[in-house]
Amino acid sequence: MSERTIVVTGAAGFIASHLSEALVARGDRVIGIDNFDPYYDPAIKRRNIEGLLKGDRFRLIESDIRDPEAVSLAFADAPVSGVVHLAARAGVRPSIEQPVDYCTTNVEGTAVLLEAAREAGVPRFVFGSSSSVYGAANEVPFDEDQRIDRPISPYAATKVAGEAMCYTWHHLYDMPIVVLRFFTVFGPRQRPDLAINKFVRLLEAGEPIQQFGDGSSSRDYTFAGDIVRGIIAALDSDLQYDIINLGGSSPVTLSELIAAVAEAVGVEPQIEVLPDQPGDVPRTYASVEKARRLLGWQAQISLAEGLRQFVTWHREQQV
Residues with a catalytic annotation lie at: 155
Whether the CB-CB separation of 184 and 222 falls below 8 Å is answered with yes
Beta bridge partners of 272: 210
β-strand pairing of 218-219 with 252-253: antiparallel
Rg of the chain (C-alpha set): 19
251: left (phi over 0), alpha (psi -120 to 50) or beta: beta
Which residues are 246's β-sheet partners? 182
142 — phi, psi (to 5°)? -70, 125
* Under 8 Å between Cβ of 228 and 295: no
Instruction: Give the torsion through C-alpha atoms of 18, 26, 294, 247, to 10 deg.
Output: -20
Residues 6+ apart with CB under 8 A from 210: 272, 274
Helices (H), the chain: 14-25, 42-48, 50-53, 68-72, 92-97, 99-103, 109-120, 154-173, 195-205, 224-236, 254-265, 289-295, 303-318
Tell me phi and psi for residue 216, to 5 degrees: -90, -10
DSSP, res 100:
H
CA atoms of 301 and 306, how far apart (whole Å) = 6
CA distance 277 to 40: 21
